[in-house]
C-alpha cells in the first residue's frame, strides 16, 4: 500500500479526533512569507543574544590600596586610603593640613610613604628673640610654633583591619595574640625564637618555631611580613 493511500485512510478513520482546521496546510502569500521570515530572524537574534552573546565588560581600575594614618596636630586626624603611595605632604593635606600655620621642609615633604605608615604630628614651642619691633612682646621674646613629624607604623589591630601584614621582627606578644590560631604560649615561643636568632630572615623560618606545624603555618603566614 502506498503511503498516500495509507494517510488518506488514517485521516478518514480518525477524523472525529482531529479538527478539520488542523488538517489544512495554510497557504501564505509572498508578503506574509517575508513577514514570517523577518520574525524568525528576530527570534533567532534574541536567542543568540540571550545564550551566546556576552559583551566585553569594561575592566575596572585596579589598584592596591595605600593606607596611611595621620594623627596629632592636623585638622582631621584619621586613616586615609590612597590609590598610589602618597608623599608626606599629600598625606597631611588629606588630613586637612596643620591646625596652626607651619612650614614643611621641602625634602621631608616629598618623602613617599608606604602602606601602613603612621604619621604623628607633634607640636613644639620655643622662644626666640624678636626679629623686628613689630614682633616685640613685653617679655622681650616671641613664641613660634614648631612641628615635629614622627613616621612610624600603624598599630597591629589597625593593620589587621585593613589586611596589612604585621612585621614579624617587631610584633609583640600581645600583637601576635590577635592572629587567629596563635595563643599566648605560641606567641611567646615566636618572640623567644626571634630574640635568640636576632630576628627572622624570612616568613618560612616560622616553621622552625616550636609548636608550629605545616598546617598551622599555612593558616597564618599571610598575616606576616619581614621588613628590612
- pLDDT tens digits, 188-198: 999 999 999 99
* Phi and psi angles of residue 166, each rounded to the nearest 5 degrees, phi first: -90, 145
Q: What are the pLDDT digits (tens) for 21-46?
A: 544 545 667 766 666 667 777 777 77
What's residue 101's pLDDT?
Answer: 84
Instruction: Please name the fold of domain 165-225.
Output: DNA polymerase; domain 1 (1.10.150)
State the chain's mean pLDDT as an integer: 78
Higher pLDDT, 112 or 147: 112
Once rounded to an integer, what is the mean pLDDT over residues 89-104?
89
Widest CA span in the chain: 133
What's residue 88's pLDDT?
Answer: 93
Residue 73 grid coordinates: 596636630
E strand or H helix that includes residue 143: strand 142-153
What's residue 134's pLDDT?
Answer: 34
E strand or H helix that includes residue 132: none
Amino acid at each position: 500500500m502506498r503511503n498516500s493511500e495509507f494517510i488518506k485512510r488514517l485521516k478518514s478513520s480518525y477524523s472525529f479526533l482531529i479538527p478539520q482546521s488542523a488538517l489544512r496546510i495554510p497557504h501564505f502569500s509572498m508578503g506574509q512569507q517575508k513577514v514570517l521570515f523577518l520574525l524568525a530572524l528576530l527570534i533567532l537574534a534574541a536567542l543568540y543574544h540571550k545564550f551566546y552573546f556576552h559583551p566585553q565588560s569594561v575592566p575596572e581600575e585596579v589598584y592596591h590600596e595605600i593606607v596611611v594614618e595621620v594623627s596629632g596636630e592636623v585638622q582631621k586626624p584619621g586613616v586615609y586610603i590612597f590609590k598610589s603611595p602618597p608623599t608626606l605632604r599629600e598625606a597631611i593635606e588629606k588630613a586637612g593640613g596643620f591646625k596652626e600655620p607651619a612650614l614643611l621642609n621641602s625634602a621631608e615633604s616629598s618623602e613617599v610613604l608606604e602602606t601602613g605608615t603612621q604619621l604623628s604630628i607633634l607640636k613644639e614651642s620655643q622662644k626666640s628673640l624678636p626679629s623686628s619691633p613689630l614682633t616685640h612682646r613685653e617679655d622681650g621674646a616671641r613664641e613660634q610654633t614648631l612641628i615635629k613629624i614622627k613616621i612610624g607604623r600603624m598599630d597591629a589591630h589597625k593593620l589587621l583591619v585593613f589586611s596589612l601584614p604585621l612585621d614579624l621582627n617587631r610584633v609583640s606578644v600581645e600583637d601576635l595574640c590577635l592572629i587567629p590560631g596563635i595563643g599566648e604560649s605560641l606567641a611567646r615561643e615566636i618572640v623567644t625564637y626571634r630574640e635568640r636568632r636576632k630576628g627572622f630572615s624570612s616568613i618560612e623560618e616560622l616553621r622552625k618555631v616550636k609548636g608550629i606545624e605545616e598546617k598551622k603555618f599555612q593558616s597564618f603566614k599571610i598575616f606576616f611580613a619581614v621588613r628590612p
